[in-house]
A and B are shown apart, each in its own frame.
Chain A
Amino acid sequence: MDASGVAAEEDRLEREILEVGRELIERFPSAARHPVRALDERAIAASTRDRELRAALFRLVDVTPACRSLDELAEHLAGFAAEIEDRPPSLEAAMRAADSKPGRLALGAAVAAGVRHMARRFIAGDSPADALEELRRLWQAGIASSLDLLGEATVTSAEADRYAARCDQALATLARAYADFPERPVLEHGPGGKLPRADLSIKVSALTPLLRPEAPRRGIEDATRRLRPLLRRAHELGAHLHVDMESLDTRESTLELLFELLSEPEFREGPSVGVVLQAYLRDSGAELEQLLGFSGKSDRLPPLTVRLVKGAYWDHELVEARQHGWLSPVFEHKQESDRSFEELSRRLCDRARTSPESVRVAIGSHNLRSISHAVAYNRLSGGLDAAIEIQVLRGLGDDLAEAAARAGLRARVYSPVGDLVAGMAYLVRRLLENTANESFLAERAAGAPLEELLAPP
């Protein structure tokens, strides 16, 4: 194609992206339906504008489960607040309150209530069973889910065993419950065949305490012992198992573990399994090659699902690299990650279109542009909407999932479950710090000019 041809293609794509974006925006639930949520949004939006304030808020949520009394909680709040230079009046008042015992009790109670309130938004329930009602509600609204079990870090074998047991139970609970859910064809069929209803996301770092970035074998062997029975279980139950990706330190272990297990003959026919590709990694293109290479050669029947995300460990990766004097493994500018995301989604869509039996595509993003781009590209290149699914985080992308579902797209909500207070701390640590910043882009979409939201990165 010559230069003018390329430009014309790009024009067409950009027009289609605007089209898809508009389609989604029009289907966003109105803020009026969620007055409480709108209030939250304002509070969080205020905190995201100010790095110090946000850091204090996250540190407070992080320490809440470790505080033994309301008094102690208030003390922490005052301590974090004291480190903010430009304190809003509400924080000044809180610090004054923390000077007296009754003041601290009141303040501590307010914080505890606040964290619980926030937790209910982000966490689907105390346990998988507890979350079922919520999963059913979503399913009926045309939205699928992937459950994620929150918990403390795994540092001992006993903890790894407990996590594996929780995963096993969760698979059983999900499979049993989903069997009774009504039919939702959009959620159950893709070009690569039938899609499992029950879907569990798992973390390799929770399956073994032995992940060592410089010595992957030991962790792989230990995690294999626990992942193999889970794969069997998922296969038996017809559930999907999605292996989350964490920091770069564990990527090699995670991928090798998975490639090895999925090459075992007993898993040739199932279960359906997914991996994650992080677009913020400078070498994510090579990683995609590796994933496609594996799925292309593999004779497994279920296609490999690739969940494309921007990546949630940006700060961690950058800090670690800087402390060691290494080249940062992640792009340092947001636009670079966004461009990488689009490039990777095009390659994924191409592969899913030409070889639906080998790869399924999931677009994990709250960025309206990234999502619209993937859908638009897929449509223009002749793919079916059913070839991709949109994945969002509970609490951050709910409206987006709803809009996508109404637009006839397949949407899935990543739904953490676990103890509300402790779970919230894990969530803050693992996800929110890195996603909160822009996740509201989509939710504030109604207010901002569409062209701005959908501009190319």
Chain B
Amino acid sequence: MSPLGELPTVPPFRNEPTLELRRAPQREALDQALAAVDPALPIAVPVWIGDDRRWGEDFFSSDPGRPERVVASAAEASAAEVDAAVALAAEAGRRWGLAPAAERAAALIGAAEVLRRRRLEIAALEVRECAKPWPEADADVCEAIDFLEYYAREAIRLESGSELGQAPGERNTMRYAPRGVVAVISPWNFPLAIPAGMTAAALAAGNAVVLKPAEQSPASAFALIEALREAGIPAGVLALLPGDGEVGAALVRHPDVGAIAFTGSSAVGLEIIETAAKPAPGQRGVKRIVAEMGGKNCVIVDSDADLDEAVPEIVRSAFDYAGQKCSAAARVLAHESIVASLAERLAGAVELLRVGQAQELDTDVPPLIEAEARRRVGEQIEEAGSRGRVLACAPVPRGPGWFCAPTLATDLDTSSPLLCEEVFGPLLTIEAVDSIEAACEIVEALPLALTAGLFSRNPATIAAVARRLPVGNLYVNRRITGAMVGRQPFGGNRLSGVGAKAGGPGYLAEFCESRVMTENTTRHGLMVE
């Protein structure tokens, strides 16, 4: 029971509705939001520790569709600031961790309300900073709201502890205590939702958070911290440390960091796991790691699949946000009896994709995040053409912007790295399999196991594939991206990730340690219950 008896009981969780952009009046608000955000650019992003904000122009984020437009100018956290942030977090975190869950939940729900109020503004910022197309930018803000609301409720649930066996004369209780300081290292591809999810979970569980956002998207992360602070998260328990990989690495090494929540590439994730495993001098615990890493996501298409449905869903899975999602489809494994017709229809659909600016609603494929990404993905697409065969690609607009042609390729050698490593760009490959069995073997052989798709209309096939595939999230007869908080807890297996699924019932416990108390309830043989 909360000492603040007046805290209202929270209604059940429901996902925040996205904008209904099929209705013209809802679309009209979007241009206005951009017009309001543009004059405010660049946004200054500080190193924000406690009540101190240090401004600086150490690095910049820019509009991937118009690179000369600077979206944010940010201060970069120094080594001393990393130490200061962790020290303050450790200290302020103690009080926060002892507060009733309902109080922490109220602050998170308050932050969700702030995001609702600033919804279009932040979505517009994502359009500029990350070239997130409008529907996706809007969905990202909604997902951030969902995480705040969902983990707030999870904190209240977790506080009631777990059921244990009881015997006469003893009372056994298990409760969950925070781990202390959580370092959150977040990517740019869901610039609000992913940092919001990891931060909200850590805070809800009673930890203090030091957030190091991707250097490509500091302004979006700043908006998140502003919302949380405005809603009453104490200054000491939430720090923002903009910067590059070095800032993240310093956090990972820090002896007073109790847990690390990371979303990003498998290479960086494995490095974090390795570094965190070595205790630093003065370290008093083993660091818990929750890491969401890459994917090489396959879509299996059976001979009985409804291709009318499969083609558009696969295209969207592979090319929405230019394939820059860890859940994006990379590899189609199609039954040999339908592969020709599927490939032809996919090719026709890929040719129609419109590559363009994120702010245009008719854009299917926005630019990649940065020049380096375009160079790397461009090379991989070229390789797909030289080692295999390009079936289709879409035209790319002239002018500045990190545009990259969405491409469908085939005939790659099964040993090609292009078939097992993550590309994180708009490249989809298709290959024939002689049975669904064979497709499952291919998926099973991959080291990455994040998402997969299956198009089949045979209930027996669906059940068999679901039993067999090692992936974290299997989607049947639909697109393989767009997991919803509370409905599709999300996360990979194998080298795709460690820890519980985000937006699901086990996630908050990752940020806790469990403590069991057994009390002798007899006094000289007298039961005192």
Residues of A within 8 A of B (CB): 59, 62-63, 66-68, 72, 75-76, 79-80, 82-83, 152-153, 155-159, 209-210, 212-215, 217-218, 248-249, 252, 324-326
- From A62, A75, A249, B458 is in contact (CB under 8 Å) with A75
B283 interfacial by beta-carbon distance below 8 Å: no
By the criterion CB–CB under 8 Å, are A66 and B457 in contact? yes
User: Are B459 and A214 neighbours in the complex by a CB distance under 8 Å?
Assistant: no
**Contact B460 A79, beta carbon cutoff 8 Å:** yes
With A62-B457, A76-B457, A325-B18 known to touch, is A212 a contact of B362 (CB < 8 Å)?
Answer: yes
Shortest beta-carbon distance from B431 to chain A in Å: 20
Report yes or no: A214 in contact with B21, Cβ–Cβ below 8 A: yes
Within 8 Å by CB of B305, from A59, A66, A68, A218, lies: A66
A62 and B459 alpha carbons, distance in the complex (Å): 14
* Contact segment of B345-353, B435-443, B496-504: B345-353
Q: How far, in angstroms, from A324 to B15 measured CA to CA in the complex?
A: 8
Within 8 A of A (CB), among B215-255: none
The smallest beta-carbon distance between A172 and chain B, in angstroms, is: 27
B460 nearest in chain A by CB position: A79
Indicate if the CB atoms of B457 and A59 lie closer than 8 Å.
Answer: yes
The segment out of B306-314, B371-379, B421-429 that lies at the interface is B306-314
**CB of B306 to closest CB in A, whole Å:** 7
Partner of B22 from the list A79, A152, A249 (CB cut-off 8 Å) is A249
User: Is B84's CB within 8 Å of the partner chain A?
Assistant: no
Interface string of B334-356 (1 = CB under 8 A from A): 00010000001101110110100
CA distance A212 to B351 in the complex (A): 16
Size of interface on B: residues with Cβ below 8 Å to A: 38
Contacts of B134 in A (CB 8 A): 214
Residue of A nearest to B463 (CB): A79
Minimum distance in angstroms from B145 CB to a CB of chain A: 11
Q: Is A83 touching B308 in the complex (CB atoms < 8 A)?
A: no
Q: Are B20 and A324 in contact (CB under 8 A)?
A: yes
How distant is B40 from chain A, measured CB to nearest CB, in Å? Answer: 25
Which of B15, B20, B337, B345 has a CB less than 8 Å from the CB of A155? B345
A218 to B356, CA, bound (A): 13
In the complex, A66 Cα to B58 Cα: how many Å? Answer: 59
* B337, A248: Cβ atoms closer than 8 Å: no
Interface string of B280-318 (1 = CB under 8 A from A): 000000000000000000000001111111011001000
Determine whether the beta carbon of A155 is less than 8 Å from that of B349: yes
Closest 3 CB pairs of A and B: A156-B348, A325-B17, A213-B22
Chain B residues contacting A153 (CB-CB under 8 Å) are 308-309, 311-312
Closest to A60 in B: B457
Q: Are B460 and A214 in contact (CB under 8 A)?
A: no
Cβ of B362 and Cβ of A215 under 8 Å apart? Answer: yes
A-B contact list, 6 entries, CB within 8 Å: A80-B459, A156-B344, A156-B349, A214-B22, A252-B24, A326-B17
Q: Are A217 and B352 in contact (CB under 8 A)?
A: no
Residues of B contacting A210 with CB < 8 Å?
Answer: 352
Task: Across the interface, name the chain B residue whose C-beta is closest to A80.
Answer: B459
Closest-CB distance, B484 to chain A (whole angstroms): 8
List of B residues within 8 angstroms of A209 by Cβ:
348-349, 352
Q: Which residues of chain B come closer than 8 Å to A248, judged between CB atoms?
A: 22
Chain B residues whose CB sits within 8 angstroms of the CB of A159 once the complex forms:
345, 348
Is B361 part of the contact surface with A, judged by Cβ < 8 Å? yes
In the complex, which residues of chain B have a beta carbon less than 8 angstroms from the beta carbon of A155?
308, 311-312, 315, 345, 348-349
Our pick among B27, B306, B351 for the contact of A62 (Cβ within 8 Å) is: B306
Residues B27 and A214 in contact, CB atoms below 8 Å apart? yes
Which residue from B24, B303, B311, B351 sits with its C-beta under 8 Å from A68?
A: B303
Q: Is the CB of A252 within 8 A of B22?
A: yes
Interface residues of B in 453-491 (CB under 8 A from A): 457-460
Q: Is the CB of A213 within 8 A of B307?
A: no
A243→B438 CA distance, assembly (Å): 45
Question: Pick the contact of A63 from B312, B351, B457 — CB < 8 Å?
Answer: B457
Given A79-B460, A212-B362, A326-B20, check contact A72 B349 (CB 8 Å).
Answer: no
Q: Which residues of A contact B53 (CB under 8 A)?
A: none
Q: Mark B1-32, 1 if CB is under 8 A from A, else 0.
A: 00000000000001111101110100100000
A213: which B residues are within 8 A, CB to CB? 21-22
Measured between beta carbons, the chain B residues less than 8 angstroms from A214 are: 21-22, 27, 134-135, 361
| A78 to B303 Cα, complex, angstroms | 17
B120 CB → nearest A CB, Å: 15
Interface centre among A157, A158, A325 (most CB of B within 10 A): A325
CA distance A95 to B311 in the complex (A): 32
| A456-B344 Cα distance, complex, nearest whole Å | 52
User: In the complex, what residues of A have CB within 8 A of residue B351's CB?
Assistant: 156-157
C-alpha spacing A61/B309, complex, angstroms = 16
Pick the contact of B459: A67, A82, A325, A326 (CB < 8 A): A82
* Inter-chain contact B348/A324, CB cutoff 8 Å: no
Q: How far is the CB of A388 from chain B (nearest CB, A)?
A: 32
Q: How far is the CA of A68 from the CA of B336 in the complex (A)?
A: 12
Q: Is there contact, CB below 8 Å, between B308 and A218?
A: no
Q: Which of A59, A72, A82, A152 has the most CB of B within 10 A?
A: A152
What's the least CB distance linking B83 to chain A, in Å? 44
Complex contact B352–A79 (CB within 8 A): no
A59, B315: Cα distance in complex, Å: 24
Q: Known contacts A75-B458, A152-B307, A214-B134: does B348 contact A158 (CB below 8 Å)? A: yes
